[in-house]
Structure 1
C-alpha cells in the first residue's frame, strides 16, 4: 500500500483511514493511548495539536482582551510565566499520552504582537527541551525565521494556494498573494527542514490546483475543509 505523507484531522476515530499516512495531526483530547499506540504500530507518526498564542480556556491572567474573530479564542501574552507553564504542561501531557510529536499552531503574530516574537521562540525551545517530541511541526511562523528552522523539524504553509473565503465557500488566492506565498515557499525550501502545504477546497478543480501548485514547489500537500473534518 502506498502511504500518503500527511493528514490533518480534527475529528475522532477513523483509525483505518489515518493508517494510510506517514504523519497525522490530531486533537489530543480525542484519542486514547491505545488508539495512538495502534497507529504507531502501523508506522504512523502522530502529532498532537498545540496552540501557542491563543487560549480557548476559561479566563486566565495571561489572556489579552482581544479575541480571534474566526474561532473565538483569547490572544495571550506569550511570555507570561503562567502561559509558558500551561503550554509546556500540555505538550508534556500529549507526549506522555502516546503522541510521537507536536503540531505548533497560531504562530503568525508578527503583525499584531511583534513584541512577543522573542517570547514565542523561547516557548518553542522550552517545548522542545521539556516535552522532548520526536518531531515538531510548526504552522507558518514566518516572522520567527530563520531562528524557527533551528527549533523545529518541519514547517507547514497553511492555505498556501487555496483558502476558505467564508463558512460556505472556497477559492484560490488572488495572483498577488500567490506570488508572495511563492517567495515564502522558496525561502522555506532553502532551509534544512521538511515543508508541507495545507489547503482548503471542496471541489475537484480547486483541489487539483492546490496539489499541482504544491508539487511545483516541492511541497507535500494535504487538502481538506474549513474545520478539518475530511481524510
Structure 2
C-alpha cells in the first residue's frame, strides 16, 4: 500500500489493485459490486460510499426546494423533511449492506444556502451513524457544525483547501482565502479527527504547492482533477 491515507475517485472502474494502494477510498455507489468492495477490504482498504445530505439528483420529490445547485445541477432539499431523512438513511443502509466500510458525507455547507437547516443536518448525520452503523464517517467540510460534528464523525475532508477551479482552469486561492482556510485548518487540529485536504489541479507544480501546504497544516493531501477521475 503506497498511495496514501485517502483517495477520492469518481471515475470508471479503476481496478481494485490501483484502489488498494490507499488506506481509504471514496467511491460512487453503484460503481463497484459488493465482490470488488469486499476484495478491497480484504486487502486492507476501506471503501467509503459517497452520500449527499443536502442535494438530490433524483426524480421530483416532496422534499425538493425550487432551486438547484448551479454548478452540479442537483436540487436543494429541505434537510429536515422526514421523507428526505428517511431517504438518506435508506441510502446509507443500502451502501453498508452492499459492501462499503463507511460513508463520505457530502454537501454539508448549508450555512451558505439555507442556514435554518443546520440543526437538521446534525440530526440527519446522527441518524445515519445510528441507523446505518458505518465503521467510518468522513465529513466534507461542515465547518459551521464543527463543534458538534466532531462528536459524530471520524474524519474531516477540507475540499479545495489550496487550489480553486476558475474559468481559465486551476489556480491557487487568493491570499485572503488561503489565510481564511489556514485559520480553519488550525481550528481543525484542536479536534481528535483524521484530517485530509482535497485539491484539484493538472499541473505538477501546482499539485506540489497543494501537497506542501496541506502538510504544513497537518492535513493528509490528495490531488486529482476536477472530475475526480485521476488516482
1:60 & 1:202 partners in 2: Cα distance? 38
Deviation per residue, 1:6-64 (Å, 9 max, x gap) = 10000232221101000000001111000001101110010000000000001100000
Partner SS for 2:104:
strand
Equivalent residue number for residue 158 of structure 2? 157
Partner SS for 2:65:
strand
Moved over 3 A (4+): none
Is the 1:46–1:101 Cα contact (8 Å) retained in structure 2? yes
Equivalent residue number for residue 143 of structure 1? 144
Q: How many residues in Structure 1 have an aligned counterpart in Structure 2?
A: 230
CA RMSD of aligned residues (A): 0.9
Q: Deviation of residue 159 (structure 1)?
A: 0.2
Is the 1:64–1:74 Cα contact (8 Å) retained in structure 2? yes
TM-score, length of structure 1 as denominator length? 0.98
Equivalent residue number for residue 86 of structure 1? 87
Partner SS for 1:184:
helix
Deviation per residue, 1:166-204 (Å, 9 max, x gap) = 3x6101000000000000000011101111000011001
Equivalent residue number for residue 105 of structure 2? 104
Equivalent residue number for residue 74 of structure 1? 75
Partner SS for 1:34:
helix
Q: Deviation of residue 3 (structure 1)?
A: 4.5
Is the 1:12–1:31 Cα contact (8 Å) retained in structure 2? no
Partner SS for 1:72:
coil
Equivalent residue number for residue 217 of structure 2? 217
2:106 & 2:193 partners in 1: Cα distance? 17
Is the 1:153–1:193 Cα contact (8 Å) retained in structure 2? yes
What 5-or-longer segments of structure 1 have no aligned partner? none
1:105 & 1:2 partners in 2: Cα distance? 26
